[in-house]
Amino acid sequence: MYDSFLNQFYHISHFLLAFFVLFFVLPGWLFHKSYEDLPERVVARFLKMVLLLIVVGYLLVSLRLFEVITLVAVFILFTVFNRWRRSIKDSSLLVKLSGFYDFWEGVKATGKQHFFLWMKEKYELFKIQFHHLFRITRIPETVLFLIVLAISVFIRFYDAVTHAALPLSDSYVTLSWMKYIDNRELFHDGIYPQGFHIYLATLYKFAAIDPIYILKYAGPLSGILTLFTLYFFIYKASNNRIAGIMAAFTFGVFIEWMFAYPLERQVATNSQEFSFIFIFPSLYFFLRYLEKGEKRDLLSGFTGTAITGLIHTLGFAYLGMATGLLVLAALFSSFKKMFRRVIHICLVSLGAVVVAVIPYGIGRLMGKHVHSSSAEFLTDQNELIFTAPTLYPMDWIALVSLGIVAITIFFSHNRRLVRIFTVLLGLASFLLYYQGGVWTNSLLISSRSVDLWTLTIPVLLGMAYDSIGLLFKTSRKTVMAEVLVFVSLVMFVQFYLKPFPIEPYKMQRDETLEQYLKISSQFRPKTWAVVSNEEGYAVVLGNGIHMYMETLLEEYDPSLPPLTKRGESQPDSQIPDDIFIFHEKKVFQVSETNSIYPLLKPKYERRIRENQQLVDWIEVYKQANKNIEIFYEDDNLLIYHIFKDKEKNDYERIWGIENEDNES
Amino acid sequence: MSNMNISRGNVVPFSGSAHKDKSRQLQLLADKILERHKQPEDQYEVAALLESMGWNDDRAIKEFGVEDIFELASGIWDSIQNRIVYTPFSRTEKPSFLRSLYETIRTFLRGLIFAVPMAVSVASMLVLKFSLWSYQNLTVEIATSIALATILSFITVGGFTQAIARRGFFYIIQGFYNLARKSTFYFIRLGFLACIIISVLLLLFNFLFNLFSYEMILIIVIYFFFLNSIWLSVTGMYILKKELVFTSLIGLGIFLVYILFKIAGMDIILSQIISLLIVTILSFILVSYFFTKEEKQKEKGIEIKMPRISITLYSVTPYFLYGFLYFLFLFIDRVNAWSTNSDFMPYIIWFRGQYELGLDFALLALIIPMGISEVIVTNLMNDLEASQRGYLAKEIDKKYRFFVRKYYKLLVIILLSAIASSYLVYQLTLWYNKISLLMNDQNILTSDTTRFVLLWGIVSYVMLSVFLMNAVILFSISQPGLVIRTILPAVVLNVVLGFLLSRWFDYSFAVIGLLIGSLFMMVLSTYYVRRVLKNIDYYLYYAS
């Protein structure tokens, strides 16, 4: 069963392990230790790793070499090159080589002792970091953050671990694009930033679980990572952990009750939401660069911006706007001091634009055109639809927060730059959300500016919290008081409002996906075929062979051996030995209140018709052929299993040896 | 030079009998120096030796009228050099034709003997459809597991077998069987340690990253372990020249599989595992027994300690690397081919019998050239040894030319034999196919892949046989570094080219990596051997 504990534990542990190895262990080997501060180091390395994976992914997919072996080879070469360079610098290679021979001689000073020294060094480092994270004054804050995190994880992962069906209609596109990348096909349906799909395909390669699970987990994980980056941005920019927790709490938990719009995109697996992860780390490093002028921050900011450009246009545009507002705030705060740094940020941002455009160039060179529906969505304008949205409590709370931050700018010089920036970003995002659609008549701005506003609200609340704190003198007692207030707030949410998981709409029943997973685990890849509807195509792609029901009904004669095309005498050799026909007794439909229902209605009518015809087709087949059985049946779904007589035995398959009897 | 003329090669007398005396004294002093050190490096070493004998500048000036001890040393050095010209000249006696023929056949067969266990296995596969670790009707999953275990075992153990052979022969030739046993079992223990570590890592890695099903990984690890044990024990028997005993053990193993699988009706995998276990235990008991026996019979009376481990390891490192790289080179094209993602890829690697079949037949082309190579290298080494006493110092260039010419002749011989062997193998494959058609109605050469791999595999192995001959020559002159410098880039070529071609065209194109790698190794190793032979005295001196 999909939702059984063991099944979920097995798949989620492999998924998280692959994620952990790829984005936390490997970067430690591949990149230099550029930051002393642990959170900064982890985030900077994560950015570098994602950029490396996307760039290498593009390159390998273009060369048709995208596979585990090549990726591992790239990692090894990168590591060896880095370590070699370092060992030449500090002559550590010779020391290690002599240590090798000493080890075999049992020389303690270099053999065991080296190991123990290394262990001691690591332990000391761990102790420092552990104390830093969990020192006594921080325990309440840490516990609070973990509670917020736990509730946020529950809200976002609940659907992923309990329902096999994929969230939203977009998931099927994401799934098939991820599989195209896995199959080394770039821009299969047209030019579109493929960074996210390369990230998914890489995770899939290392987790080695069915792509369905990757898709189910990656979406909620993006939401959690965005929560982390919001916490990171506010905490590091304001040097106030509780303000960071406030931002995380707002994004992860609080917003659910206070907002009018469904948050289902936060659990769906989309490139837009993935691109949001990189916005605030990029802004943080640019902010740091403006404050300190260190090159490493400029480089990290560039890395994050380039990644966002390689993932999603809207995220990139938002980051562009935010970066513009940041440099504007910098010039406001100190024109003379900031001018050169602002120029540098503008230049690297321009560099990121160039990087983001490169895939488009590759696509054009390959003779591809921009993905049509995305291009249409990007440019579509319609005067009749757009009106200003109604403001809800959360909007008002955000606006009040914005006002608090704005007022405190005049009272305190502390962290002025970040507060000016927050106010500018808040104003711009709110205007975009409230009037953007009306002013531009753009379908994109009208429908997606809410997502950007959702992302800005936690920043406003976090910074407002910090700004209020500036008016009071910080002591251990005030921190404890803050924590207590927060705990009460969390308790209120937990026990009074009661967090409910985000459950997005689905396009298929859970059972359909569960049966697909059962088939794919029982049969070797490409040795089985599924006959079903459009969603089945993305699900089966790359693992089995998919056939539309319409094709089966129109092209194959049920009165002949399986499966023979009408007008032919021999079975179709392109069809594998095992065929599974998914007959929907009751065709699954999204709710009629769903905005996409009118678009899907004709499709559903056709499916009802086809399923009725299928009953007759099966009847004729049963009369003419014996090799058919029921693979699965419930009230809504019936899966027939048709199996062909095996033409070749395993021995012939393995060795490619032709049996002359078979030939005759 | 002051008042005494000591020119290169001669001590020039001033005048009269006093000078003759001094000349004689100088010769006597040179004799004393040579008593202390037969081959001093240069005049500076002579000076050092003089000083150790109590000579100093004053004494040198006083007794020979030279400027200092270095001038005296220079004179003695020239005198010693002059003596080289008069080293007794002797031609090596040529053995009789019959003796020579007998030696040649013996050497040839010794070269072939490594293939006997393989021949027994192949014969068993053809007749019984199974052998000690293979079976014709396996599922692809199990075939993949066993193939991977075999490849991994060869690559893992390759370095250890080279180290065992190098050190083992080194001690056995000197009659130190006790040391040979100790060093052999030391490397066997290290081999086992490596095997255990790799097995644990494999299990762990598979647990974390889901590479294979649990059944598959279990089979991989079990076969990997037993095959490693077998290769390690084979090497022990090889250095003791007991290859036929090992062949019998393989025969016994197959017989056991027959009893368990055919008569007792056990599962083939279980039958093979039990047989492998028995063969492994027996072979280690026998290796130990043979060593003890040889030790009792032939051990020199002196009890010598094993050298320090670090020294042993340092000296065998190049050979270890060679063993590892050689097997990596030999199998990496299979890994490239089987990991190409096409129709059926449930795992990262998937056995493709059509490719394997082509290479299996092609590999047979190596057997005869290996025998010929053994004869050629023995012959060349005998000539090199004899040449030490067969040429005047001034004829050194003539000697170099002779050996380069001789090497070219040998090169032609090995190439011709390899081509003839390839033709024979090709004909044998066609003949076997006919038999297969007649007896089982099966056409083993239907697949384009098999034919393609067979053809280019044969060509690759022809070139590889030349490399192997060159490698043995270079090893004999203690130049493993040159072999490593040849094989390392060839491995990279094989990996990179095979990988790219298999991905861009067809998985069977992985064999082109093997082909280009072999061509590279043939050319570069020939160049190195030629370079060595052109300055053979230096290399022989280095080797001594």
pLDDT tens-place string over residues B446-497 = 888 999 999 999 999 999 999 999 999 999 888 999 999 999 999 999 999 9
Comparing alpha-carbon positions, the chain A residue that sits nearest to B342 is A183
Q: Are A545 and A524 in contact (CB under 8 A)?
A: no
pLDDT confidence of residue B147: 93
A17, A105, A654 ranked by CB distance to B208: nearest: A17
Cα angle: B404, vertex B406, B410; to 5 degrees? 115
Which chain A residues are within 8 Å of B447, Cβ to Cβ?
A: 656-658
Q: Which residue of B has its CA nearest to A107?
A: B310
- In this structure, the number of other CB atoms found within 10 A of the CB of residue A186 comes to 21
* Contact across the interface for A660 and B137, Cβ inside 8 Å: no
- Which residue from B313, B357, B450 is facing A101, i.e. has the nearest CB? B313
> In chain A, what residues touch B339 (CB-CB under 8 Å)?
67, 69
Do A104 and B209 lie within an 8 Å CB cutoff? no
With an 8 Å Cβ cutoff, is B444 touching chain A? yes
pLDDT at B87: 52
Give pLDDT tens digits for B417-443: 999 999 999 998 888 888 888 877 777
- The alpha-carbon gap from B142 to the nearest alpha carbon of chain A, in Å, equals 11
Closest residue in A to B317 (Cα–Cα): A101
Q: What is the mean pLDDT of chain B?
A: 85
A5 touching chain B per CB within 8 A: no
Highest mean pLDDT among A650-659, B310-319, B405-414, B506-515: B506-515
Element holding A658 (H helix, E strand): strand A658-659
Per the structure block, which two tokens stand in for A530?
Answer: 């599924």
Contact A101 B314 (CB under 8 A): yes
Which of B209, B442, B503 has its CB closest to that of A64?
B503
- Report the residue from A208, A524, A660 with minimal CB separation from B209: A208
Q: What are phi and psi of B506, to 5 degrees?
A: -155, 155
Distance (Å, whole) CA A175 – CA A201: 10
Q: Calculate how close chain B gets to A579, using CA atoms only, in Å.
A: 17
Q: How many CA atoms lie within 13 A of B204 on its CB side?
A: 6
Q: How far is B361 from chain A (nearest CA, A)?
A: 13
Q: Which residue on chain A is closest to B190 by alpha carbon?
A: A104
Q: Is the pLDDT assigned to residue B11 strictly greater than 50? A: no
Of A206, A525, A660, the CB nearest to B344: A525
Q: Which residues pair with A531 in a beta bridge?
A: A547, A581
Give the nearest partner residue to B143 out of A70, A654, A656, using CB atoms: A654
User: Whole-structure pTM over 0.90, yes or no?
Assistant: no
**Which residues does residue A543 pair with via DSSP β-bridges, in sequence order?**
none
In terms of pLDDT, which residue wins out, B297 or B302? B297
Q: What is the pLDDT of residue A381?
A: 65
| B138/A654 CB distance under 8 A | yes
The pLDDT of residue B126 is: 75
Query: Taking chain A (664 residues) in consecutive chunks of 10 residues, what is each chunk's mean pLDDT?
Result: 93 96 92 86 96 96 92 92 76 70 66 70 76 66 88 93 93 95 91 95 93 96 96 93 92 74 80 96 96 95 97 95 96 89 97 95 90 74 69 89 92 84 96 85 80 93 89 70 79 78 92 95 89 94 93 94 88 89 95 88 95 95 92 95 72 61 41
Range from A160-174, A347-361, B132-146, B185-199 carrying the lowest mean pLDDT: B132-146
Distance CA A504, CA A270 (A): 13
Is B197 in the A-facing interface, judged by CB distances under 8 Å? no
Contact of B244 with chain A, judged by CB distance below 8 Å, is answered with no
Give the rounded percent of residues in chain B with a pLDDT score beyond 70.
91
A401-422 burial by CB neighbour count: b if 16+ within 10 A, else e? bbebbbebbeeeeebbbbbbbb
Q: Is A224 on the interface with B (CB under 8 A)?
A: no
| Residue B353 to residue A526, Cβ atoms within 8 A | no
Grouping H, G, I as helix, E, B as strand and the rest as coil, residue A510 is: helix
pLDDT at residue B202 tops 90: yes
Instruction: Mark which residues 491-520 of A lie under 8 Å from B by CB.
Output: none
- Residue numbers of B between 139 and 158 with CB closer than 8 Å to A: 139-140, 143
Q: Which of B233, B221, B279, B253 is nearest to B121 (CA)?
A: B253
How much is the pLDDT for B303? 66
> By C-alpha distance, which of A316, A221, A202 is closest to A268?
A221
Shortest CA gap A281–chain B (Å): 30
Tokens of B411: 């090169």
Put simply, the answer to whether B136 touches A657 (Cβ < 8 Å) is: no
Q: How would you label B464-482 residue by residue, b for 16+ Cβ within 10 Å and e otherwise?
A: bbbbbbbbbbbbebebbeb
User: Residue B272 and residue B136: Cα distance in Å, rounded?
Assistant: 13
How many CB pairs lie under 8 A apart between chains A and B?
A: 83
B3 in reach of chain A (CB within 8 A):
no
Place of tokens 């049992």: A106
Give the gap in angstroms from C-alpha A149 to the nearest C-alpha of chain B: 26
Q: Is B310 on the interface with A (CB under 8 A)?
A: yes
Tell me the chain B residues in contact with residue A68 when contact means C-beta distances shorter than 8 Å.
348
Chain B nearest C-alpha distance from A110 (Å): 14
Q: Which residues of A touch B209 (CB under 8 A)?
A: 14, 17-18, 206-208
Which residues in A457-600 belong to E strands, given as ranges? 528-532, 545-548, 556-557, 564-565, 578-584
pLDDT of B163: 93
> What pairing do the DSSP bridges indicate for beta strands B5-7 and B10-12?
antiparallel
**A65/B309 CB distance under 8 A:** no
Residue B483's φ and ψ, nearest 5 degrees, are -65, -45
The answer to whether the CB atoms of B143 and A525 lie below 8 A apart is no
B309 → closest Cβ in A104, A527, A659: A104
Residue B408 C-alpha, separation from nearest chain A C-alpha, in angstroms:
40
What does the pLDDT read at residue A110? 54
Of B140, B310, B441, the CB nearest to A654: B140
Task: Tell me which residue in B137, B309, B446 faces A658 most closely, judged by beta carbons.
Answer: B446
Nearest CA in chain B to A659: B442
Does B438 reach chain A within 8 Å, measured CB to CB? no
CA of A65: which chain B residue's CA is closest? B503
What distance lies between CA A567 and its chain's CA centroid? 48
Q: Min CA distance, A292 vs chain B (Å)?
A: 42
Nearest one of A222, A242, A244, A225 to A233, comparing CA atoms: A244
Interface check B354 vs A, CB under 8 A: yes
User: Are the Cβ atoms of A651 and B136 closer than 8 angstroms?
Assistant: yes
Is the separation of the CB atoms in A207 and A221 below 8 Å? no
* Residue A272, token pair as written in the block: 């837009």
Nearest C-alpha neighbor of B444 from the set B360, B366, B505: B360
Residue A643's H or E segment, with its range, is strand A637-643
Q: Which residues of A touch B308 (CB under 8 A)?
A: 105
* A664 reaches B (C-beta below 8 A): no
Do B344 and A64 count as a contact with CB atoms less than 8 A apart?
no
A659 touches chain B (CB under 8 A): yes
Chain A nearest-CA distance from B351, in A, is 8
Residue B439, chain A, CB below 8 Å: the answer is no
Contacts of A102 in chain B (CB under 8 A): 310
Distance CA A68, CA A332 (A): 49
Nearest to B149 by CA among B9, B331, B329, B23: B331
Calpha distance B377→B369 (Å, rounded): 12
Q: Torsion-angle region of residue A184: left (phi > 0), alpha (psi -120 to 50) or beta?
A: left
Best to test chain A binding among B142, B213, B310 (most A CBs inside 10 Å): B310
